[in-house]
Structure 1
Amino acid sequence: MGYSFFALTSGLLVLGLPIFVALLLAVFIGLHLGGSTPLMLIIQRMFSGLDSFPLMAIPLFILAGNLMSTSGLSARILKVALLLVGPFRGGLAMTTVTGSMFFGAISGSSPATVVSVGRLILPSMLKEGYDRQFSVGLLMATGALGIIIPPSIFMIVYGAMAGVSIGALFMAGIGAGAVYGSVFLAYCYYRARRAGMQSQPFPNMSELLAAIREAIWGLAIPVIILGGIYSGLFTPTEAAAVAVIYSAAVGLFVYRDLTLKDIWKVCVDSSVVTTQVMIIVSAAAAFSWYLTTSSLTDSLSAALGQLSDNPLMLLLIINCIVLIAGMFLDPNSIVIILVPLVVSVAQAAGIDLIHLGVILCVNCAIGMFTPPFGMNLFVASSLDNVSYGEAVRGSLPLVWLALIVLVLINVFPAISLWLPSVVMPGIAG
């Protein structure tokens, strides 16, 4: 039964149906063939899957990210990044990495990071003579940091599903994101050195301080969000609401690049994105419910647990499953479908659930720019007449680099767990 159900779901996805339609149709067929369960329960489980206080943070963080993007924050952040790392060899490439890290800490979204940074930095990289495929690949790979560095929509969903602290997950994402970004910075420097690129004079301190002052209102957002959460001032969901109010106030009254007309458009755009995310979350919740009530979760978890009682080998299996899933599904669908299958097995093997969440997150980040259906491939194809083929060719070498980061995070749990164990002792570590 289990293999037939997953074969049915896979077949529906291969047919090109939208993800939420494929998941719901598979559940509908499974219940219909079962014959005894009312089909109305599908609708009920969809709504109950959305009835979660932590999930309320998702539309709020999406709105906050769009508000800051529209207010011109991207250009200000990239200016700071350019002044900090631009003078080094491969400075523009390193600016792409650093800018993606900064913007990822605001948007919480990988595609939003690719678009916001790419529109500003890609033309400059091509003008400076950077290889087109490398430039696009780097933009997609570092844009994936948007779901690793907090605030992360993926981690909110995982925390709600696995029942672990979202604040601890956010803190764990800082360590993982720093390692990910550092590896790509080192690669940019190595590639520039090999190509014979020269370093540039460093800016004077007054110029750097002026740029930081101009961008400080935006750069303060992650500090406000994380500081408020870890000080106990507000929950992650309340932090998202604070971020929305703060973003609107900065855009309207400080930068003054945001108008009331812009706010209306941002709200509409954010509603569309929220709907796209939430309908997948609701469908995946119904899918997860069916797996649990039909005992498919127990049988599949037992099968997975029998494959290995070695935590490292179990992690290897989980990584392979999620990497393959990431080539075809979006991160939110993956986490909701797979969490019920792997959490109990991981706990039995002694794997920390916060560490597991970061591992799943990095896997899904890699899937965002892995062919054939990585979302960043299609987002990048909308920038500067980039073709899908160019995006694929640019992504492949950097997938291998990201896999090195993934191995490091798997083998050295302290990368994820050290910071939350210090800041939130007793919750992680």
Structure 2
Amino acid sequence: MEMAIVLFVALFVFLFLSAPIYVALTAASLITMFFFGDYSLSAVMQRIFGGMDKFALMSLPFYVIAADIMTVGGMSKKIVDFVNVAMGSFCGSLAVVTQGASMFFGALSGSSPATVVAIGSMMYPRLTSESEGGYSKKFAAGLIASSGAVAILIPPSITFIIYGATTGVSIAALFAGGLGAGLVFGVLIMTYSYYYALNHHVVVGNRVSGLQLLKAAKDASWSLGVPVIIVGGISAGVFTPTEAAGFSVVYALFVCVFIYRELPLSKLLLALKTSAVTIGQLMILLGTACLFGWVLTVSFFPQILASIMTETITSKYTMLFIVNIMFLVAGMFVDGGAAIMILAPLIFIPIVKLGVDPVHLGVVLVTNLSIGMFTPPFGLNLFVARSVTGLSLGEIYRSVLPFILISVIALVIVTYIPVVSMVFVSLMS
């Protein structure tokens, strides 16, 4: 137990000192190894490499590359234009469009901060415009920060891939479960946006003709094909998640180069450079988290915790409540992937023994972490939204409070009504 205490204290000290997460994980592990055993440094490198050398992670680089190509190649803009035309003719439509576009873009990128930047940059000026939107800056900032969080629920989600690699749960099933949770999340935000618009007399969107809708759908059809290919192909058994990831890269290149013709060599190189940085960050984080997890395991803390939880908690609903609190707090301070790698192995066996489906558990955990993306004080989307909107951090904090409440309602639904997230898993089966 003393070993685990030193490990966690060292971790939080380094995080408090603003050290990068991978540095904090590695340094805490090395300090603990130095004080509590004669461990070889070669074991450190083996554990780090072992954390990255997993078959389930093969799809991760492909999804990252595909997302960056789609972003710079114009596919995301086509989707926003289509959603705007399709949903842009009623009170509150522009806010609903923002959430809908974030859901579609989440299916392209799988990244919450990327969704905030891509959608927020386009929609924030329109939302706050007196002639087009009429929303307050506070509401618009909160909407953008919260709507981007749905990206880690809508497949293909990098966080789900990390959970699957950590626990051995089917990534295809996790993608299907995340789709249901993402729809609940999005629909509740859309409902609140509509209610807000009715009570604040915002600008009503212009009605569009059937011809305009048909044209927008035609222009965006190639972009809209991405989630169909990924989710539909996996569900139908045509692709494995890894094969779908590789195909999405080829598809994105084909569409951006030959259909939209918005991907010159300079933009392609920029996308590949961005992808290389992102992939490098994710892989070193995965490797160092594996080292941290190994040191934690040899301290016997997970085994002791699992025994205590199993003996003292006999209700899976109580256990789910505790897990929700744990991951909501974790999401406020660390990246979702890091939270999964550090905490999921601790609670996975005890909660599954109580009868919770491993896929449902994964959906619940990622839903918590999606809320953590825009929860003060350190939710990453808050800082990204600050750069997009130009508002102070205090104003951003206040703007997201109603959306946090709405999102917690979505979390309760996902947690205690499993059919919401499991319906697509059942259909896939």
Whether these two folds match at TM > 0.5 is yes
1:13 corresponds to which letter in structure 2? L
Work out the CA distance in 2 between the residues paired with 1:121 and 1:70. Answer: 17
Question: What is the CA distance between 1:378 and its match in structure 2?
Answer: 1.2
1:144 corresponds to which letter in structure 2? A
Query: Any stretches of 5+ residues in structure 1 without a counterpart?
Result: 425-429
Question: What is the CA distance between 1:198 and its match in structure 2?
Answer: 5.7
2:143 corresponds to which letter in structure 1? L
Q: Quick one: which of 243, 264, 270 aligns to 2:269?
A: 264
Question: Which residue in the other structure is 1:324 paired with?
Answer: 329
Question: Which residue in the other structure is 1:12 paired with?
Answer: 14
Work out the CA distance in 2 between the residues paired with 1:362 and 1:68. Answer: 25
Percent identity of equivalent pairs? 41
Q: Does 1:394 align with 2:396?
A: no
Work out the CA distance in 1 between the residues paired with 2:300 and 2:335. Answer: 25
Question: Cα–Cα, structure 1 residues 200 and 37, in superposed 2: closer, same or farther, change >3 Å?
Answer: closer
Q: Does 1:26 align with 2:28?
A: yes
1:225 corresponds to which letter in structure 2? I
Work out the CA distance in 2 between the residues paired with 1:16 and 1:376. Answer: 18
Work out the CA distance in 2 between the residues paired with 1:342 and 1:24. Answer: 22
Q: Which moved more, 1:66-75 or 1:92-101?
A: 66-75
Q: Secondary structure of 2:387's partner?
A: coil
Work out the CA distance in 1 between the residues paired with 2:188 and 2:20. Answer: 35
Question: Which residue in the other structure is 2:153 paired with?
Answer: 148
Q: Is the 8 A contact 2:112 2:149 kept in 1?
A: yes
Alignment of 1:69-218 (within 5 A): 69-127=71-129, 128-197=133-202, 199-218=204-223
2:122 corresponds to which letter in structure 1? L
Work out the CA distance in 1 between the residues paired with 2:5 and 2:138. Answer: 40
TM-score of the aligned structures, taking structure 1 as reference length:
0.96
Question: Which residue in the other structure is 2:283 paired with?
Answer: 278
Work out the CA distance in 1 between the residues paired with 2:302 and 2:421. Answer: 27
Query: Any stretches of 5+ residues in structure 2 without a counterpart?
Result: none
Question: What is the CA distance between 1:397 and its match in structure 2?
Answer: 2.1
Work out the CA distance in 2 between the residues paired with 1:199 and 1:266. Answer: 37
What are the Cα deviations for residues 141-181 of structure 1, in whole angstroms up to 9, with x where unaligned?
A: 11001100001000011111111111111111111011111
TM-score of the aligned structures, taking structure 2 as reference length:
0.96
Q: Quick one: which of 271, 291, 298 aligns to 1:293?
A: 298
Q: Is the 8 A contact 1:109 1:152 kept in 2?
A: yes
1:269 corresponds to which letter in structure 2? T
Please report the RMSD computed on the Cα atoms of aligned residues, expressed in angstroms: 1.3
Question: Which residue in the other structure is 2:48 paired with?
Answer: 46
Work out the CA distance in 1 between the residues paired with 2:89 and 2:397. Answer: 30
Question: What is the CA distance between 1:238 and its match in structure 2?
Answer: 1.5
Q: Is the 8 A contact 2:154 2:178 kept in 1?
A: yes
Question: What is the CA distance between 1:33 and its match in structure 2?
Answer: 0.8
Work out the CA distance in 2 between the residues paired with 1:65 and 1:386. Answer: 28
What are the Cα deviations for residues 276-303 of structure 1, in whole angstroms up to 9, with x where unaligned?
A: 2221111111111111222121112223
Q: Secondary structure of 1:327's partner?
A: helix
2:410 corresponds to which letter in structure 1? V
Work out the CA distance in 1 between the residues paired with 2:334 and 2:312. Answer: 24
2:112 corresponds to which letter in structure 1? S
Work out the CA distance in 1 between the residues paired with 2:10 and 2:206. Answer: 60
Q: Is the 8 A contact 2:94 2:205 kept in 1?
A: no
Question: What is the CA distance between 1:307 and its match in structure 2?
Answer: 4.0
What are the Cα deviations for residues 6-35 of structure 1, in whole angstroms up to 9, with x where unaligned?
A: 222222211211111111111101111123
Q: Is the 8 A contact 1:114 1:140 kept in 2?
A: yes
Question: Which residue in the other structure is 2:234 paired with?
Answer: 229
Q: Quick one: which of 401, 421, 425 aligns to 1:416?
A: 421
1:279 corresponds to which letter in structure 2? I
Q: Is the 8 A contact 1:307 1:314 kept in 2?
A: no
Work out the CA distance in 2 between the residues paired with 1:246 and 1:147. Answer: 22
Question: Cα–Cα, structure 1 residues 155 and 386, in superposed 2: closer, same or farther, change >3 Å?
Answer: same
Aligned residues: 424
